[in-house]
Structure 1
Amino acid sequence: MDTSAQLTPYELSGKKETTTYNQAIQYYTDLIKNFPEARLLSYGSTDFGKPLHLLVLSADKNFDPVKIRKDNKRILLINNGIHPGEPEGIDASMMLARDLLTQKALPKNVVICIIPVYNIDGSFNRSSTSRANQNGPLAYGFRGNSKNYDLNRDFIKTDSENSQAFQQIFNTWQPEIFVDTHTSNGADYQYTMTLIPTHKDKLNPILSSYLTGSMLPSLYAGMKKLGYEMIPYVNSVEETPDAGITGFLESARYSTGYTTLHNTIGFMPETHMLKAFDKRVDATYKLLQTYIQVVSRDAEVIGENKRKADLATAAQKEFAVDWKLNSTLYDNIEFKGYAAKQKPSEVSGINRLYYDRNEPYTKTIKYWNTFEPAVTISKPIAYIIPQAWEKVVELLKLNRVTVQRLQKDTEIEVETYYIADYKTAAKPYEGHYIHSAVKLNPVNQKIKFYEGDYVVYANQPVNRYLVETLEPQAMDSFFNWNFFDSILGMKEHFSAYVFEDTAAELLKRNPELKEKLEKEKISKPELAKSAAAQLDFIYKNSDYYEKTYSRYPVARLINDTQLMLK
């Protein structure tokens, strides 16, 4: 076999250029012709009209994910080019796949899955200027896809076809370990590679214990031995890292936040933007090698941990759905940086920050990395979803949530939420005016549901996905992403001159309503001065007021009611 034919475009360019999408797919297409242990699959579509590819490397030539899991093998999924301007993983994965195949170095107990380029759209939008702070390569793709979405914010709302295809891959293969390759922005320091793991406090405790006690120490030690000492992602509390750094809390909109909902341990390696491109690619290659070694070494325990975590999640009753940093708890860690200094700007003449690479330092800094639940909810027995909300149901199905349907129209005693308050962003974020700080008013009601409405029992290994999408107070709930905004608008009201007589009659017939109004007038003097406000109060406390206004449509089944389901 011609060895030069196996060189990647990156290598052929003298390690100055990153591979284009077409080159990557052609390279993998040629590679698999010579190796029966490799197969290139395609899934769904993307907003660019091309399918999402998946290279699968399997030592025993088994490419059936169900049989792979039955054979007790681990699955490692590597995602590249979600931000195509951060392309190190694209090139590193190509060389890694080739070397594993040509050197017959595939592990027997791990199947390696590689998405060559996730944001295909953005990879075609090439330039050398979109990442103004980055040191190479000569040209690269753009962060946004063809709809201008940042795909690393799209794993819950799923506005893109890319996200649909990724979730198909993820839920078909169900990896125990996931790696999403990136390049950082931010401060300057000595490290080429930094690391964001799935946050330990959000992860299932069984998985978290293994991650912090075994996997992370092995990754850090392995990379140090290979010449690339790592540090946690440098998320500075101030302008420079000197005052300390905090852990990164990846909510479910992010790839590793999404994988957490499925009890998959995720990692976001971030190479440093100012290091030479070839060093960044090499560090990524060596980190991916290290992942393979650790997953192969710990294959049995990783599989057993995942099994236990899934069982625990199916039985779990309380779920944290929002988090806050504990600012009183921190570790002291060694940090290798550069002296941060000020000098007059050649642009403005005003002092500006710069890092002096002639003054490297090693010092101890604080690392805040403990997050605590800010909102915790108790799961219901089941959620009931009217069939009108089809996108919600389709996403649940895509994520392996088992759904059933009512066989006939049924009145059911449920807990419903009325949206009492919320904040909405003033400007759109990723195509949405996202909600936050949701306050709820829970009410027990008998509601009529209809044949074909969906019943989703909360006794599943994917409970985390179920709860964190359907509970409105969750950071990245479907409600916060505007899936249910139509319920926030009233459809009926009254004409005051007509309702005056109706309101008077209501007060005569209902002494309790009259007493309630009088108490409200005493507690709120402005109400006593406003005829319109008093009419509105009576209206909202009468049967004329629409019961569905601001009522969250997904109901919670609290009592173990026997339902006829299909």
Structure 2
Amino acid sequence: MKRLSLILLLIISVASYAQQTPYERSNKKETTTYSEAIKFYEGLAKNHPKQAKLFTYGSTDFGKPLHLLVLSKNSIFDPVALRKSDKRILLINNGIHPGEPEGIDASMMFARDLLKNNSLPENVVICIIPIYNIDGSHNRTGTSRANQNGPIAYGFRGNSKNYDLNRDFIKTDSKNSQAFQQIFNTWQPEIFVDTHTSNGADYQYTMTLIPTQKDKLNPILSSYLTKTLVPDLYSQMKGKGFELIPYVNSINETPDAGITGYIESPRYSTGYAALHNSIGFMPETHMLKDFDKRVESTYKLLNTYKDIMVRDAKIIGENKRKADEFTANQKDFPLDWKLNRSVVDSIEFKGYAAKYKPSEVSGIDRLYYDRSEPYTKKIKYWDKFEPSLTVTKPIAYVIPKAWDKVIALLKLNNVKMQQLVSDTKLDLETYY
């Protein structure tokens, strides 16, 4: 009997160990490699075939496809059928900058725990891109982000062509972006999250947040974002031990002079998402905080997005439908934005005293933050942006046939086009 009990205990222990992520097995010191991440998600899909499915899309500059794990409580993995059954879609992208890996590890635990605890929501389907910049994730060192507090080794920001993939969404020079657009237009998420790590100033927060800039978002979505979604994210995350602050985009050298909102154009993932009336977020953990706390805060934030989407599923779906109708009838479209510095708010900010001391390298005074002198005070916050360039929607755009890449990208984004079948003379306007 004792022998049987020991065997059962050993089996349980092995199974429990197998469910752990490489991050957990390393005592929270290491981040997962690409091959480990894909193997882990393959295991989840194999062990939970009714609720998890691993898809592949297109190719990347590394020659491998993008993977997408889909978690569906009701075993529906067809995006068209999901929309017909009124399900909401949460899309999470990780590792676009593989040196900022918290989301990679947090998403693995997030997916595992939802499946293990049988706690997938009925009305929200969760889609996870394990690692977006596959080639950058293979270029592992521990030195490319010199001041970052863990993990031991991590990937590199650029891909194999040295592209910053989070500047490539509207122009799509990379195959990664093509595969992403296929995913995005197939699943059409209402909320999109792209996980990151910040650097720069020192302050007391572990997590900062960049939501889609409210003034360039569809007004229906902007109202929900500013009045409900962001306040609830802040409130719930504070209750979970991780108080949020807007991304620390300092207007001068140090944040106590004030910070501004971040205008993410469509070359960024969240700016691209906004073009599709999807509310986007870039959570940016603080690189100087312990790696395990950065992962924990990301894990809790992902759960918070899920919980709010479950609660507000009907509202979020209706807002998306109305926003799409609004866009279909919209006549004028802003193409560029500028910060209105005459409109300023104030927010409470928890930082550290900024001081200067001689550099050990150059002898010239350098900035540092004194953690022995924390402060809490009001700082200025500029977050009002106005259109600086607006165009009126024409009847149509004429695209020269030689611009085959542009035509292919428009097709990828489901833009309706009609080919001219014969030579035609037209009076046209141009702008650039």
User: TM-score normalised to the size of structure 2?
Assistant: 0.96
2:356 counterpart of 1:342: yes
Q: How does 1:128-527 map to 2 (within 5 A)?
A: 128-412=142-426, 414-417=427-430, 440=431, 472=432
Q: Aligned-pair distance for 1:349?
A: 2.4
2:16 counterpart of 1:3: yes
2:36 counterpart of 1:20: no
Partner Cα distance (1:150, 1:213) in 2 = 33
- The one-letter amino acid of 1:268's match is M
Partner Cα distance (1:246, 1:261) in 2 = 22
Q: Aligned-pair distance for 1:406?
A: 2.1
Partner Cα distance (1:301, 1:404) in 2 = 35
- The one-letter amino acid of 1:7's match is Q
Partner Cα distance (1:284, 1:49) in 2 = 29
Partner Cα distance (1:127, 1:406) in 2 = 52
- The one-letter amino acid of 2:395's match is I
Deviates more, 1:8-17 or 1:316-325: 316-325
Q: Aligned-pair distance for 1:407?
A: 3.3
Specify which of 74, 80, 104 is matched with residue 94 of structure 2.
80
Q: How does 1:27-66 map to 2 (within 5 A)?
A: 27-35=40-48, 36-66=50-80
% identical aligned pairs: 73
SS in 2 for 1:113: strand
CA deviation string 1:89-126 (max 9, x = no partner) = 00000000000001011110000000000000000000
Partner Cα distance (2:216, 2:387) in 1 = 9
Q: Aligned-pair distance for 1:30?
A: 1.2
CA deviation string 1:517-554 (max 9, x = no partner) = xxxxxxxxxxxxxxxxxxxxxxxxxxxxxxxxxxxxxx
CA deviation string 1:209-250 (max 9, x = no partner) = 000010000100010000000000000011110100000000
CA deviation string 1:339-389 (max 9, x = no partner) = 111122222222221111011100000000000011111110111212221
Q: Aligned-pair distance for 1:189?
A: 0.0
Partner Cα distance (1:12, 1:37) in 2 = 25
* Structure 1, unpaired ranges of 5+: 418-439, 441-471, 473-566
CA deviation string 1:412-455 (max 9, x = no partner) = 3x3222xxxxxxxxxxxxxxxxxxxxxx5xxxxxxxxxxxxxxx
SS in 2 for 1:42: strand
SS in 2 for 1:385: coil
Q: Aligned-pair distance for 1:32?
A: 1.5
- The one-letter amino acid of 1:380's match is P
Partner Cα distance (2:341, 2:65) in 1 = 45
Partner Cα distance (1:362, 1:44) in 2 = 48
Q: Aligned-pair distance for 1:409?
A: 2.8
- The one-letter amino acid of 2:313's match is A
Partner Cα distance (2:51, 2:171) in 1 = 36
| Change beyond 3 A, Cα 1:378–1:5 | same
Q: Aligned-pair distance for 1:31?
A: 1.6
Q: Aligned-pair distance for 1:410?
A: 2.6
Q: Aligned-pair distance for 1:204?
A: 0.3
- The one-letter amino acid of 1:258's match is Y
Partner Cα distance (1:3, 1:70) in 2 = 38
Partner Cα distance (1:162, 1:386) in 2 = 25
Partner Cα distance (1:322, 1:42) in 2 = 34
Partner Cα distance (1:193, 1:179) in 2 = 14
User: TM-score normalised to the size of structure 1?
Assistant: 0.73
* Structure 2, unpaired ranges of 5+: 1-11
Partner Cα distance (1:327, 1:344) in 2 = 34
Partner Cα distance (1:386, 1:368) in 2 = 42
Quote the RMSD (CA, aligned, Å): 0.9
CA deviation string 1:169-224 (max 9, x = no partner) = 00110101000000001100000000000000000000000000100001000100
- The one-letter amino acid of 1:306's match is K
Partner Cα distance (2:59, 2:403) in 1 = 23
SS in 2 for 1:383: coil
**Relative contact order, higher structure (CA 8 A, sep 6+):** 2
SS in 2 for 1:324: strand
| Alignment: residue pair count | 418
SS in 2 for 1:410: coil
- The one-letter amino acid of 2:354's match is A
CA deviation string 1:23-73 (max 9, x = no partner) = 000011112211120011100111111110000000001000000011110
